[in-house]
Structure 1
């Protein structure tokens, strides 16, 4: 009877694992199939995309969609604009969020809880409700159709969450790190940049990924606050491929693939440094 009971217990322990892998496989197919369809569609001609019955793999692989993008300076400009806006927004967000989060995490000051509640409350406002007020302010300040308008607007949306994320991460770090710097004659500013920031690499990277992702994919405000082709971003460029009488689906898929690559590379880079940042700078030599 003992062998039978051991077999039953082992089968019961294996069953949840099998079900978990089955669920993960279904989720992988559900999430990955649209990406595969987008990639292989970018390697088809526009005519083959509409072939019936639809096929995942193209009959003839072609890079005509990618060639059309790289040969067009206007489309290249879309990517340059996205890199400029998303890069500047990410850097400014990190700078402000790190300094602000350090103040919230390490100091007690008046109206601290009120400011925290205000920052959290900003995340409950749907961005679309702010579109008309922002448009009016941008026009009134004379910055319509400029990089500054996009960067300033995106900062309003990225900073609150970045501050909350960084504050939560800095709260997990012991205050003894700061005190050790002060004992050695350093200042709070030295403690922040020489000790806290190196230890906070995982939180900083996570914040940077979120900020870059939000800025890169934003569509509504990029469409509203710009009008010239010299300032359009990648999401707007994809939308502009939808003509009045025909859609360049293969070019849309190719631009979507190229637009997804920076995010993919950013995630790969972030994954590499997550564990390394957990311990770097935390040991005093």
Structure 2
């Protein structure tokens, strides 16, 4: 009895230690987000007041009102939504077709293409910044939506193809064969059978792709010139003036810029977790 009691205490202490560690980690991760939120309501002059307070005198919605009444800042959000949604849609369409081909067919050069896809994913994006700038200028896509969308797809497609190929590999080939017996073509089997049951994998890849396109800063800064083409990350940076920073508006834009990704995780968390894990296991 004494030995069992000791083991139980050790297990309880171990569980308590894990929970304490998780809570401390969650608090450490959430603190900057919380401070960003409360700072967005403070007057700009009191952002760095000491001692720091959660609620300062004069706190208001002024920073948010200023953003929603500024057509230029609204344009930053419109640009980000348009580019991110376009990249996500196009990446999923191309990746689904490519992943289906890699998963279900044998063709010359398949292994080389697989290596090429993985190699592109392994290249640091910053090393391609200057080549992409020259390419977009040559193709007259500099400072255009098309230039940003095509550039982002170079970095989102390899991951999407790899993940969806792994996911399709977990699905039995009998599903395709049964659909073909009923007179459906290969593309019909893909869109009518495989895609509907691959929703978790597709959603997880879509969320990741949207996050990459929504948060990207370096290429958005390099490949755009005018404010009417800038995205939210660049819009936040533009609030850093030569002599003063609009800290409260920067925090407010950061909060507004975080909302789409947070909502995606809230509503699609189940699919995201299932999709990320399913593609790593092969039946």
Report the TM-score range of the alignment, normalised by the length of the smaller protein.
Answer: over 0.9
In structure 1, which of residues 190, 193, 197 is the aligned counterpart of residue 191 of structure 2?
Answer: 193
Q: Following the alignment from structure 1 to structure 2, what is the Cα–Cα distance between the partners of residues 258 and 103?
A: 39
CA deviation map 1:28-70 (0-9, x unaligned): 0111000000000001110111211222333443100000100
Which residues of structure 2 form unaligned runs of 5+? Answer: 276-283
2:99 equivalent in structure 1: 101
Instruction: Write out per-residue CA displacement over residues 162-217 of structure 1, whole angstroms, 9 at most, x where no aligned residue.
Output: 10011111111111111110121211111100110011001000000010000000
User: TM-score, normalised to structure 2's length?
Assistant: 0.94
Give CA-to-partner distance per residue, 1:216-255, whole Å, 9 cap, x none: 0000110111111111000000000000000000000000
Alignment of 1:228-243 (within 5 A): 228-243=226-241
Q: Secondary structure at the match of 1:205?
A: helix
**CA–CA separation in structure 1 for the residues paired with 2:130 and 2:196:** 41
* Gaps in structure 1 of 5+ consecutive residues: 278-285
Residues 261-284 of structure 1: per-residue CA shift (max 9 Å, x gap)? 00111111212545899xxxxxxx
Pick the aligned partner of 2:39 from 28, 38, 41.
Answer: 41
Q: Distance in 2 between matches of 1:209 and 1:274?
A: 8
Contact 1:40/1:58, CA 8 A, preserved across alignment: no
Measured after TM superposition, the shift of residue 153 of structure 1 is: 0.4
Query: Counterpart of 2:9?
Result: 11
Residues 1:65 and 2:38 aligned together: no
- What is the Cα-based RMSD across aligned positions, in Å? 1.6
Q: Work out whether residues 40 and 251 of structure 2, in 8 Å CA contact, stay in contact via their aligned partners in 1.
A: yes
Which has the larger displacement, 187-196 or 80-89?
187-196
Q: CA deviation at 1:90?
A: 0.3
- TM-score, normalised relative to structure 1: 0.93
Q: Distance in 1 between matches of 2:129 and 2:272?
A: 36
Which residue does the alignment assign to 1:222?
220
